[in-house]
């Protein structure tokens, strides 16, 4: 019975969306329906937990922050391993997305994994994997039955995307649960942050990634130095994944009047000051208070709501309840070609979907 509330809420949300997608209104104007489905107000409504508890495990590079829905009415929550980019040890920059994911009913683990530039890129996968495993062990001991390790989502940004990929290739090596889905955001590699021997690629044997693992690779299209080329290179090594489990999608920059949105390397960020933990050796707050609205910033925009957050929450819902993923991997699905409306009612420029795999591999 402990799953009843969560399952019911998920079913109600899924039922509402199914109804919305099946109406004549959807058939006549799918973009209007998408604009509501992924609006800021829709994300705010998904946050069913009022407060978040923070558990701190370890110090320095070994530290991991664990964000937990406070006093959940059920157990067996999904767990999300969220790996940041180079020097992104402070979770503040992704606080907006973390807040949505946790208040929806997920536990998020955010490992620090480095000590400034003193940590070699060749070490970060092992350090992050060990921190993840330690956090999971502490979490399980402190909250028996709270999480279901069969419901794991791996996701990462920049260097963290490569860490997530490496861990997903062989999770047992690090004592981690097998992921049910994988999201790689603006992936990066060692040569983007180091020179000499430390610039050698840390990307693992992508060809051994399980073909059954739903995997989305996404980047801003203006991220031409890091995200775009690395995303293409990684996805070209994923051709053993069927089309139903593989998506490479890019979000473009766009302008409207005097407003310009740049889809560069920093475009996935959405800062939230409540998650400002700049020192991985210091004590931090043990809870994240409620806030009605998302913290405004130059980084929080349509690319988040209709792009990065849409994909992250869709994968999280799949991990949590097995909700369908067909539309996410359907290259013709309206949601994969829509990034919201500007205030004047015009549409943001459409995403670009690529498939580097030969036709025979699809």
> Which SS3 state, helix, strand or coil, does residue 31 take?
helix
Contact 106, 78 (CB under 8 A): yes
The pLDDT value given to residue 116: 85
- In angstroms, the Cα distances linking 258 to 35, 238, 254, 307 are 22, 40, 11, 22
Structure tokens at 262: 């740049």
* Percent share of the chain, pLDDT over 90: 88
Residue bearing tokens 């994909």: 311
* Model pTM above 0.85: yes
What the chain holds in terms of domains, given with CATH numbers, is 4-361 (3.40.50.1820)
The pLDDT value given to residue 7: 45
How far apart, in whole angstroms, are the C-alpha atoms of residue 87 and residue 73?
36
User: What is the chain's alpha carbon radius of gyration, rounded to the nearest angstrom?
Assistant: 19
Binning pLDDT at 50, 70 and 90, where does residue 112 land? very high
- Nearest to residue 83, comparing CAs of 130, 25, 47, 138? 130
What is the per-residue pLDDT across 304-357, written as a single tens digit (0 to 9) for each?
999 999 999 999 999 999 999 999 999 999 999 999 999 999 999 999 999 999
How far apart, in whole angstroms, are the C-alpha atoms of residue 267 and residue 308?
9
Contact 270, 92 (CB under 8 A): no
> Any residues with CB less than 8 A from the CB of 23 and at least 6 apart, and which?
none
- Nearest to residue 117, comparing CAs of 53, 192, 186? 192
- Asked whether the predicted pLDDT for residue 18 surpasses 80, the reply is no
- Asked whether the predicted pLDDT for residue 103 surpasses 50, the reply is yes
Mean pLDDT of 239-251: 97
Helix (H) or strand (E) holding 148: strand 147-157
- In angstroms, the Cα distances linking 320 to 69, 140, 145, 152, 220 are 14, 18, 15, 8, 27
What is the per-residue pLDDT across 22-46, written as a single tens digit (0 to 9) for each?
444 444 589 999 999 999 999 999 9
How far apart, in whole angstroms, are the C-alpha atoms of residue 38 and residue 53?
26
């Amino acid at each position: 019975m402990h799953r009843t509330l969560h399952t019911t809420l998920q079913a109600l949300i899924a039922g509402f969306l199914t109804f919305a997608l099946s109406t004549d209104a959807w058939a006549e104007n799918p973009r209007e329906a998408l604009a509501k489905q992924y609006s800021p107000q829709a994300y705010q409504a998904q946050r069913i937990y009022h407060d978040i508890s923070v558990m701190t495990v370890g110090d320095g590079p070994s530290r991991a922050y664990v964000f937990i829905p406070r006093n959940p009415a059920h157990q067996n929550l999904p767990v999300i391993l969220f790996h940041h980019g180079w020097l992104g040890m402070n979770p503040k920059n992704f606080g907006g997305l973390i807040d949505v994911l946790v208040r929806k009913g997920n536990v998020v683990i955010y490992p620090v994994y480095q000590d400034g530039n003193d940590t070699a890129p060749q070490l970060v996968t092992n350090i992050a994997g060990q921190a993840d495993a330690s956090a999971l062990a502490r979490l399980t001991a402190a909250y028996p039955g709270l999480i279901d390790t069969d419901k794991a989502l791996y996701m990462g940004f920049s260097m963290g995307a490569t860490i997530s990929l490496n861990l997903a290739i062989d999770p047992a090596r690090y004592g981690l649960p097998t992921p049910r889905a994988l999201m790689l955001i603006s992936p990066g590699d060692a040569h983007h942050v180091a020179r000499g021997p430390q610039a050698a690629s840390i990307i693992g044997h992508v060809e051994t990634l399980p073909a059954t693992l739903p995997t989305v690779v996404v980047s801003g299209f203006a991220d031409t130095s890091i995200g775009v080329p690395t995303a293409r290179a990684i996805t070209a090594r994923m051709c053993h994944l069927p089309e139903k489990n593989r998506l490479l999608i890019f979000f473009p920059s766009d302008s409207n009047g005097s407003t310009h949105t740049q889809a560069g390397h920093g475009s996935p960020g959405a800062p939230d000051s409540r998650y400002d933990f700049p020192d991985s050796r210091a004590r931090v707050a043990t809870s994240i208070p409620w806030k009605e609205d998302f913290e405004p910033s130059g980084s929080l925009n349509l690319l988040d709501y209709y792009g990065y957050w849409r994909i992250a929450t869709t994968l999280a819902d799949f991990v949590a309840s097995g909700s369908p993923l067909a539309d996410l991997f359907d290259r013709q699905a309206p949601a994969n070609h829509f990034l919201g409306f500007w205030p004047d009612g015009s549409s943001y420029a459409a995403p670009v979907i690529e498939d580097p795999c030969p036709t025979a591999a699809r």
